[in-house]
Structure 1
Amino acid sequence: MHLLLVDGSTFIFRAYHALPPLTRKSDGLPMGAVSGFCNMLFKLTDDLKGEDAPTHMAVIFDYSGKSFRNDFYPEYKAHRPPAPEDLVPQFPLTRAATRAFSILGIEQEGFEADDLIATYALMAKAMGGRTTIVSSDKDLMQLIDDEGTIRMLDTMKNRWIGPEEVLEKFGVTPDKVIEVQALAGDSVDNIPGVPGIGVKTAALLINEFGDLETLLARAGEIKQNKRRENLIEFAEQARISRQLVTLKTDVPVEHPLGEMERQPLTPSVLLPFLKALELNSFSRRMAAFLEADLDAFEPDPEFAAKSGTSNPGSEPNAGNGGENASDNSPAAHAETVLARIKAIPVNHDKYQTVRDEEALARWVEAIVARGHVALDTETTGLDNQQAALVGICLATEPGQACYIPLAHTEGEDDMFGGGKAEGQMDLVRAIEMLKPVLEDPSILKILQNAKYDMGILARYGVDLAPIDDTMLLSYAIDGARNNGMDALSDHWLDHRPIKFSDLAGSGKKQKTFDQLEISEAAKYAAEDADITLRLWHVLKSRLVAKKSVTLYETLERPLVPVLARMEARGICVDRQILARLSGDFAQRAAALEAEAHTIAGEKFNP
């Protein structure tokens, strides 16, 4: 038996963030995540051949609502924002898509998908089978074994994950992963851990003491004062964290493994479903793959657009959110998003300053879990081919942002010109840690004027992609006016960001960003990323309503990396030709001047 278990949430969110907005033409129903989900599901099953071909398969979904973990720790995942509103109606369609592909979809009240995956994986192992878990979720890495009977597959990076990859990520073997997670915590899931201990330190401690309980019992032996005090003070918090990260392997599952046996695709089920969703290109592709006549099948009435529903393209007020817009129209959705984002206060005191590797590692994990990140670079000037990188700011959710200072200076007025300020990461190491997520094709990077930041980061060896640009979103929607971040923030969010001149002054005495105090620079920089992310939510949701998707997705966005490369490469100039042209132009100008004087009968403008 080879059991293939797909982490449904990972597929859904990666499909949602990786693809541009897509709606069903007949009624405007959001369809991007469903389309991506179907393509990913088919590619997965088509790619796994030979020994990797599964005999049994299921897609495991998270059941909406709380899990048993909330019973003993109510704060678990409590601060997670709701799913994007245009994604919500697509959740049931992904379940239906799974069934249409002749695959069993499973979710169970009170348990998370990870618990079901853990239970089924061990059931298969007990029967002498092996399991492949299709996910990159770090929480599932505790299941990997040395025998190779349980392994993971990250389809976005086309990478198998085994014991060596787990050791590389956590610094420990798979059986010790929960010990490290208990200490390090997880800000994404609101798992507290022990303050001041990140993955790197946690791995060192577990490798030295063996497990969490032994470490806590011998905490008094720790030489570092603060670390020792935190381990003693937050011992119970670490134990609770261990409970939270430990996957349940004995869930009373409702579907036996026998129900997961692979079944062939059925044209009479799959093609009507795809036609109902109006995924026309994919429908034709699947019909060709199945050697079936697509025209022989009618759209599945259960999923087809109902008669009488409005086409957003014909709504008289679909572009402006007018009062006559349908509640389900793209315009109404855009107004809902705007109201939700504006209701979230901007609190500079909640922004974080990242000063070490452990803190940055937590932000990298949050980025991977969320699937997108807003970012901005802070530099010493406006020319991205000359300016030096001073810091990087990130935001994963509205109100959740940080600043990573890298090259701030102090003592600039002394005779030696100052040195590097304390409390900053090594620039090379920070870039090394961020580079994988900044280049990850499954993680969307959101920027304001992305071309500038792409030019900066390219000089540090980072090929930034894929990107969304709030400046270009605004341009595609409203034209060439008020596309700067401050103007957009004032217009859409009723918020005026901190001005650079308020911190750096103006005129000849204006400071460069590296000369600013880190504490003040952090508020300004983190706000940049936070506001950019908020604007992205607002503007991205308006693309469909304003009928600007094609302009943005086929022209404006694809041009950004092209223009960035052109700026970086410059143009080739032949100085000798320019010199000859200059001499020729000077002679011709003198001749024309003499001719003018002759016509006038006298010299003028001496």
Structure 2
Amino acid sequence: MTFGKGHHLHLIDGSAFIFRAYHALPPLTRKSDGLPIGAVAGFCNMLHRYVEGNTGPDAPTHVAVIFDKGSHTFRNEMYDLYKANRDAMPEDLRPQIPLTRSATEAFNIACKEKEGFEADDIIATLAVQARAAGGRCTIISSDKDLMQLVGDGVEMLDAMKNNRIDREGVFAKFGVYPERVVDVQALAGDSVDNVPGAPGIGIKTAALLINEYGDLDGLLERAGEIKQPKRRQTLIDNEEQIRLSRRLVQLDENTPLDFTIDDLEVRDPDPETLLGFLAEMEFRTLTKRIADQMGKEAPVIADAPAAPEAPLVADIPFDAEKYEQVSDADALQRWIDAIYEVGYVAVDTETTGLNEMTAELVGISLATEAGTACYIPLIHKAGASDDLFGSDDLAEGQMKVEDALRMLTPMLEDPTILKIGQNMKYDAKIFAQIGITVAPFDDTMLMSYAQHAGLHNHGMDTLSERYLNHTPIPIKPLLGSGKSAITFDKVPLDKAVQYAAEDADITLRLWQFLKPQLHSAQVTKVYETLERPLVPVLAAMERSGIKVDRDTLSRMSNAFAQKMAGLEDEIYEIAGRKFNVGSPKQLGEILFDEMGIEGGKKGKTGAYATGVDILEDLATEHELPARVLDWRQLSKLKSTYTDALQTHINADTGRVHTSYSIAGASTGRLASTDPNLQNIPIRSEEGRRIREAFIAEEGKTLVALDYSQIELRILAHIADIPALKEAFARGDDIHAMTASEMFDVPMDEMTPDIRRRAKAINFGVIYGISGFGLARNLRIPRSEAQGFIDRYFERFPGIRTYMDDTKAFAKEHGFVQTLFGRKIHTPNITAKGPHAGFAARAAINAPIQGTAADVIRRAMIRMPEAIKDLPATMLLQVHDELLFEVDQGHEEALITAARDVMENANDPVVKLAVKLTVDAGQGANWAEAH
């Protein structure tokens, strides 16, 4: 049939279906071979529902599912940063993408994609063709980029919400009609796709401007007429960028296609093909349902149980209206009685901020079973959140703080009641601020981390969507953003109850889902011995904080500024003129245009790229980029540390209180934030000096204990390298020994430069460094660096064997393991292209770095008991180092006790072939102690 008047084309956004399916179901694998199939299962269910639901007079006559083919399109040629900030595709989704194409074809629905173009371009071209032929087109998607097509017979359908989007719907979204959507998007930009737009102009302002000036060209031509100076200047300065943004968001309605709409005629599926595919995927339930509808015999799926259903906790509907506001002692007592009846409770706190040292407790939520939760508001204010003269009077319907806590404290501290939290360290610190020690507890974030490290993040929203198929109530609409943002105590009680109680409900359901899986995933021991016991240890360290001397930081800041000025003079002399050293654009012009250095590459904006990788490459042969790198390092030290650290000093304690993320890195390494104290560079003299500002209190000393080359020792054990094991046993200088082995230089003739090169290779190999990376580190030509690496593997062949074996294990199992059983998933290990090398290096490094992280975790967990009789406090962990504060006169006792714990932390679980050793130092400040 030739498409025309009376015909109806449906275009399904395939990517939207896939990602919705992926996030809607828990991870499923095919029983026979472990292939991930959760997204395929959801996709097939959605296609089946689509086919079943589109009958009758408005049914489509033509239909296609349109997919993206690859990530590189003509827009990347225009602008190399287009979509550059998109997260990498989840590794367990990657192998499912081709299967969604096969699923579409199995349902006998046309499946279309085109290299170099996005699915949206194909949809745009077909929609315009359908309109021109006099037919109708429905685009099944909620993608805002497609809204520019709506009108004259083209509409959109958000299938998830069953919401049709016409011209008025587009106006409600953008403030303009479809023909001007591109102009608004060009101004507002798009952070998701990394479309730059005009800085500081959002959708509302963009719509206002376009409606006033008619269109984008008119606006840009008359930008000088705009009264607001900042807005006027933004449009004038960024005209080229705005026009580029318009080209990026404008869909290509003339995409060259190798098919026509006539080829997309609706066709019934072939029973044998469809049922065969579903059976191959081992979707027993769906196979039987469709077979019954078709009147066919369902194929036998050998030894494959039905795809696991979401657990009961995910099937119980969420109903925010049912959550209870606890306003008096009688109601609270009923909850406490219910908690004692079951023996556990999910607990969550609401506070006035994210800094546990300064935040005030606003309310507490509890849940005892899925769907049954409450919120106990304590200090919500009576004034409306948008009331300019809002009262500080408390809202009605709240217990007195002291009354509620008096009733709750015995239960929160009761050893017979299990408290369940999501990121329990935060809530434990909030309670600790008011004298309550929460114990015992379980933490759903850490349960997920123990099972799924490397697969996804472990925040509550992610876990809820993934495992409970539920999107939590968002916080942003309640608090607002920017200058008008409010704190939670200003949120009206009815909304606060629904938001806060839901958090406890979700946490309880996640616990019911994740707890039983610890055993089947064989990570119970990891959770019980490495994750959960670390929480109170870190909470105590964070609350202790470390004293920082503001005057020292201020002096350093001035010294760095002077040194930067000196470097600038050197840079100007080499360049032959003055320029803004902090401007990448000006630097590029100096290097590649004026100095004629080869290797310059211009981006879409016309400026040369001068990122750190490029400068490190150039620094192996040229002086100017080397000096600029030195200047940039000083600039970063000044802004990130000597300036910013001063703002982190707590007004009450005079100390800096960092926060450790247990589940941040997949290998088990801790991450430090607000401020990050783990990234202070110690290779440069300036970086080391920053540690001088971290000081001991009067009458106390700082003591640092640092594992000596722990990762090299673990490598020697795991890869079974006799030469390394023997050198460690003898107490040799391991870098000098490596240099001697590699470069045939006797130990007594070793020079510092040769040892430095060997050290860079030793550590580089652990981190999977390439010839490129080593060349940058040593500032030598790549060929020479690669020669060093090749020689290293010749001298220590066991390392190459370890690397090959580890990669093979990762490819077969999808994860690697530390010596203590921690699983680190490697979803990208089968990737092709540029990601392949990175994934392989990460898989090789993970068992080494992860084992070292496990060792120091074990030491930290044992430390409080070991030093409890000493006047000492553990303050910081920086990867392989622990920092303590101790009363003067007790330094040696602390060093003896702490060193014993650290050097034997692997026992009795793992017997290492190489002894761990710990270096100790002490002083009035951190630099002296190191």
Q: TM-score range by the shorter chain?
A: 0.5 to 0.7
Which residue does the alignment assign to 1:162? 166
Which residue does the alignment assign to 1:510? none
- Contact 1:497 1:527 (8 Å CA) reproduced: no
Matched residues in 2 for 1:431 and 1:526: separation?
28
Which residue does the alignment assign to 1:577? none
Pick from 239, 248, 251 the counterpart of residue 247 of structure 1. 251
TM-score, scaled to structure 1: 0.58
The CA deviation string for residues 73-106 of structure 1, in whole angstroms up to 9 with x for no partner, is 1110112122101001100100000000001100
CA shift, 1:425, in A, is 2.5
Change (3 A) 1:207 1:35: same
- Aligned: 1:30 with 2:31: no
Q: Which has the higher contact order (CA 8 A, sep 6+)?
A: 1
Pick from 168, 185, 192 the counterpart of residue 188 of structure 1. 192
Matched residues in 2 for 1:278 and 1:388: separation?
54
Q: 1:69-108 counterparts in 2 under 5 A? A: 69-108=75-114
Amino acid at match of 1:222: I
Change (3 A) 1:255 1:501: farther
- Aligned: 1:118 with 2:109: no
TM-score, scaled to structure 2: 0.39
Change (3 A) 1:227 1:105: same
The CA deviation string for residues 242-297 of structure 1, in whole angstroms up to 9 with x for no partner, is 000000000110111111001112111100110111000000010011111114x7
Pick from 224, 229, 233 the counterpart of residue 229 of structure 1. 233
Pick from 262, 265, 272 the counterpart of residue 266 of structure 2. 262
The CA deviation string for residues 533-579 of structure 1, in whole angstroms up to 9 with x for no partner, is 878x99xx99xx999xxxxxxxxxxxxxxxxxxxxxxxxxxxxxxxx
Which residue does the alignment assign to 1:566? none
- Contact 1:182 1:193 (8 Å CA) reproduced: yes
Matched residues in 1 for 2:657 and 2:138: separation?
42
Pick from 337, 341, 364 the counterpart of residue 383 of structure 1. 364
Which residue does the alignment assign to 2:498? 458
- Aligned: 1:10 with 2:54: no
Which residue does the alignment assign to 1:177? 181
The CA deviation string for residues 520-543 of structure 1, in whole angstroms up to 9 with x for no partner, is 99xx99989x987878x99xx99x
Which residue does the alignment assign to 2:203? 199
Q: 1:300-339 counterparts in 2 under 5 A? A: none
- Contact 2:63 2:265 (8 Å CA) reproduced: yes
Change (3 A) 1:27 1:206: same
Change (3 A) 1:14 1:471: same
Matched residues in 1 for 2:131 and 2:219: separation?
31
Aligned residues between the structures: 411
Amino acid at match of 1:164: E
Larger radius of gyration: 2
Q: 1:175-574 counterparts in 2 under 5 A? A: 175-295=179-299, 378-379=351-352, 380-381=360-361, 383-384=364-365, 385-387=376-378, 423-425=483-485, 456=496, 458=498, 475-478=515-518, 487=531, 499=542
Change (3 A) 1:406 1:389: farther
Matched residues in 1 for 2:56 and 2:477: separation?
50
- Contact 2:479 2:487 (8 Å CA) reproduced: yes
Matched residues in 2 for 1:527 and 1:130: separation?
56
Which residue does the alignment assign to 2:865? none
Q: Counterpart of 2:57 in 1: which secondary structure?
A: helix
Which residue does the alignment assign to 2:142? 136
Structure 1, unaligned runs of 5 or more: 306-312, 314-374, 409-420, 433-453, 504-516, 548-606
Change (3 A) 1:525 1:227: farther
- Contact 2:458 2:663 (8 Å CA) reproduced: no
Which residue does the alignment assign to 1:56? 62
Which residue does the alignment assign to 1:46? 52
Matched residues in 1 for 2:540 and 2:119: separation?
41
- Contact 1:403 1:526 (8 Å CA) reproduced: no
The CA deviation string for residues 211-257 of structure 1, in whole angstroms up to 9 with x for no partner, is 11111111122222221111111111111000000000001101111
Q: Counterpart of 1:294 in 2: which secondary structure?
A: coil
Matched residues in 2 for 1:407 and 1:518: separation?
24
Matched residues in 1 for 2:69 and 2:540: separation?
39
CA shift, 1:71, in A, is 0.9
Amino acid at match of 2:498: A
The CA deviation string for residues 322-379 of structure 1, in whole angstroms up to 9 with x for no partner, is xxxxxxxxxxxxxxxxxxxxxxxxxxxxxxxxxxxxxxxxxxxxxxxxxxxxx99644
Amino acid at match of 1:383: I
Q: Counterpart of 2:139 in 1: which secondary structure?
A: strand
The CA deviation string for residues 366-421 of structure 1, in whole angstroms up to 9 with x for no partner, is xxxxxxxxx99644326232156899x9xxx979999969879xxxxxxxxxxxx9
Matched residues in 2 for 1:134 and 1:455: separation?
33
Matched residues in 2 for 1:189 and 1:407: separation?
26
Change (3 A) 1:96 1:533: farther
CA shift, 1:185, in A, is 0.5
Change (3 A) 1:220 1:213: same
Change (3 A) 1:115 1:405: closer
The CA deviation string for residues 484-506 of structure 1, in whole angstroms up to 9 with x for no partner, is 9x957979xxx999947759xxx
Matched residues in 2 for 1:224 and 1:525: separation?
42
Pick from 67, 73, 79 the counterpart of residue 73 of structure 2. 67
The CA deviation string for residues 193-228 of structure 1, in whole angstroms up to 9 with x for no partner, is 111111111111111111111111111222222211
| Seq. identity, % | 44
Change (3 A) 1:130 1:405: closer
CA shift, 1:423, in A, is 2.2
Change (3 A) 1:286 1:399: closer
- Contact 1:219 1:228 (8 Å CA) reproduced: yes
Amino acid at match of 1:80: R
- Contact 2:284 2:301 (8 Å CA) reproduced: no
Matched residues in 2 for 1:245 and 1:231: separation?
18
Matched residues in 2 for 1:466 and 1:225: separation?
48
Change (3 A) 1:79 1:50: same
Change (3 A) 1:422 1:39: closer
Amino acid at match of 2:364: D
The CA deviation string for residues 434-493 of structure 1, in whole angstroms up to 9 with x for no partner, is xxxxxxxxxxxxxxxxxxxx9956168989998898767764444899979x957979xx
Structure 2, unaligned runs of 5 or more: 1-6, 309-347, 353-359, 366-375, 386-422, 424-455, 462-473, 547-645, 651-655, 670-813, 816-820, 824-930
Q: Counterpart of 2:212 in 1: which secondary structure?
A: helix
CA shift, 1:65, in A, is 3.3
Matched residues in 2 for 1:188 and 1:102: separation?
33
Q: Counterpart of 2:142 in 1: which secondary structure?
A: coil
Q: Counterpart of 1:258 in 2: which secondary structure?
A: helix
